[in-house]
A and B are shown apart, each in its own frame.
Chain A
Amino acid sequence: MRDAPTTPPSSSSSPVSVPSAISEPGALEIRGLCFAYPDRPEVLQEISFGVNPGRRVAVVGPNGSGKTTLLLLTCGVLKPSAGVVSVDGGRIKAGGFDPRVTYLFQSPDDQLFCPTVSDDVAFGPLNMGLPAEEVRVRVQEALETVGAEALADRPPHHLSGGEKRLVALATLLSMSPRVILLDEPTSNLDSRNRRQVINILRQAPQTLLVTSHDLEFLLEICPRVLLIDGGRVNADGPIRQVLADRTLLQAHGLEKPHSLVPHRHIGAAPHRA
């Protein structure tokens, strides 16, 4: 399906039909994606979905369900055993460099490898062959977007976890990608940094595909969710509808988010039969 929900959330829903590749900027299309690790056959089987440009889609599922693998296949770090990933109608080649798609790693230490923050943010634009002046502008803008201008000359290993996460995000934004894949962007963040990440992502014009176990966070930024388990898409629809289905979530090792559970205030008079 695309962003207009056509598949009601159901634990038994079959893989959805996918329209042909489209060529709008930032349009992401995944068709028949399959992948297996040598010791884990069929991690992903026939995954198909599309995302319209500028839309934000959450990917949820239990541990080991293949969420990270899906993102790594989408950006071309891993090669699928079958299937196609395309952005703007153009195929993403595994192992190649395509600045249209970029990926935020779970650990920012994997993403920050340069001597200073500004070097790290400049790394992508420089490799894209942009002129030095434009690289400087992009670095400045990306750091401003995440509120990390003051960190420009700091070495990454001296940053706090929250600062590292924001700078890692800036390293992607400086490349002006059309699709950003985010793997657990709020893990290990305190409330203030988590809120900052939410604000940045809500304002991002890019197409976003976000995996997280923080369902409350996903509820705030993504109107649509995919539930992956057993290597398949088990549900695809509006996030408030899918995440309100307790039976479906329990069947896939997830819990209904607290904000969707009707509850009484602590201290209210107990109900008597």
Chain B
Amino acid sequence: MEFDSYADLDSPVQAWDPRFKLSAGFLLILVCASLSKAPSLAAAGLGALVLITLSRLPLLFVLRMLKAPIVLLALMLPLLVLTAGGQALWSWRFLHLYRNGLILAARIAAKSLTVILLFIGFFGTVRLNTAFQTLERLKVPSTLLAILLFTYRYIYLYLEDMRKLLSAARLRGYNLQRGLRHIGTSSGILVTLLLRSYEQSERVAAAMRLRGFDGSFRGIARFHRSPADLLAVALTAVWICLLLWLELR
């Protein structure tokens, strides 16, 4: 499933002009990433859920997008709770559950999930090609856009390449679990992948030049500004002000 699979749904979020949506979304995400107090984080999280609901993105799709970050948080946060220090809420032998750790873990989890939900709500509701075209218009450096584009396009290819190389190596006795004994093979596989990606990047650059690429991404998407777009920007501005007020009061 692609990140922009539901970009064409009929909803107020999808209909929002991408130039206004991505600018407002970027600013809101920055503000949310700087929040630290519980009331402001709660308001941000609630707002993110409202955005996702308005966008009519299927719950399963959103959960699938959240799966990797949740797994990462589930691996990291217990360590934080057990090692933060300070007042212990519960102890058993050498294990201590720290109050500070719990608060910090809850804050990190709330903030990161809110930011990811906002990212899905703002960026997952625009076609990728339109998003690149919009970012180009918003003066995002084309080198950064090229890196994003190629990461998205070629990550699957290199994962597949890596699987093939690992299979070929396993068929000749290589075993990942015997790491130290096979460290030469592991680094060989990595170097092969790096060399292949370097060579391919040269061919892709040649293919782009042959089709007239001069550093600018062009698209055929048409942008239309409407009063609804400005209203949405105004609502986002109110939301940002509310979050800042809750954070700074």
Contact = CB atoms under 8 A, between A and B. Distances in A.
Interface in B189-224: 200, 203-204, 206-214, 218-220, 222
Given A124-B211, A128-B212, A110 B204 contact: yes
Interface in A100-130: 102-103, 105, 107, 109-116, 119, 122-124, 126-128
A154 B2 CA distance: 10
A180 to B, nearest CB: 11
Contact of A113 (B149, B212, B214): B149
Interface-central residue, B2, B211, B214, B218, by most chain A CB under 10 Å: B211
Interface in A135-168: 135-136, 155-157
Contacts of B2: 155
A95 interface: yes
B157 A109 contact: yes
B211 A156 contact: no
Contacts of B4: 115
Given A109-B200, A110-B204, A115-B149, A127 B211 contact: yes
Contacts of B152: 115
Contact of A157 (B129, B153, B207, B208): B153
* Contact-residue bracket for chain A: 20 to 34
A105 B209 contact: no
Contacts of B156: 157
A178 to B, nearest CB: 14
A99 interface: yes
Given A157-B153, A157-B156, A132 B211 contact: no
B15 interface: no
Given A119-B219, A127-B218, A113 B208 contact: yes
Interface string B147-166: 00110111011000000000
B129 A105 contact: no
Given A113-B150, A115-B152, A127-B218, A75 B210 contact: yes
Interface in B1-32: 2, 4
A127 B213 contact: yes
A110 B210 contact: no
Contacts of A95: 209
Given A109-B157, A115-B152, A103 B210 contact: yes
Q: Which secondary structure characterizes the binding site on chain B?
A: helix
B104 interface: no
Interface string B87-117: 0000000000000000000000000000000
B123 interface: no
Interface residues of B, number: 29
A132 B220 contact: yes
A94 to B, nearest CB: 11
Given A102-B210, A114-B153, A122 B220 contact: yes
Contact of A126 (B127, B128, B200, B220): B220
Nearest to A114: B129
B132 interface: yes
A202 B149 CA distance: 35
Contacts of B213: 123, 127
Contacts of A135: 220
Contacts of A124: 211-212
Given A127-B212, A127-B214, A135-B220, A111 B207 contact: yes
A115 B154 CA distance: 10
Contacts of B149: 113-115
A99 B212 contact: yes
A77 interface: yes
A97 B2 CA distance: 32
Contacts of B219: 119, 122, 126
24 contacts: A72-B206, A75-B210, A77-B206, A77-B210, A97-B214, A102-B211, A103-B207, A107-B203, A110-B203, A110-B204, A110-B206, A112-B153, A113-B149, A113-B154, A115-B153, A116-B128, A116-B129, A122-B219, A122-B220, A132-B222, A136-B220, A156-B153, A157-B153, A157-B157
Given A77-B210, A103-B210, A115-B153, 4 more contacts: A95-B209, A109-B154, A123-B211, A157-B153
Interface of A: 72, 75-77, 95, 97, 99, 102-103, 105, 107, 109-116, 119, 122-124, 126-128, 132, 135-136, 155-157, 171, 175
What 3 A-B pairs come out closest when comparing CB atoms? A127-B212, A124-B211, A115-B128
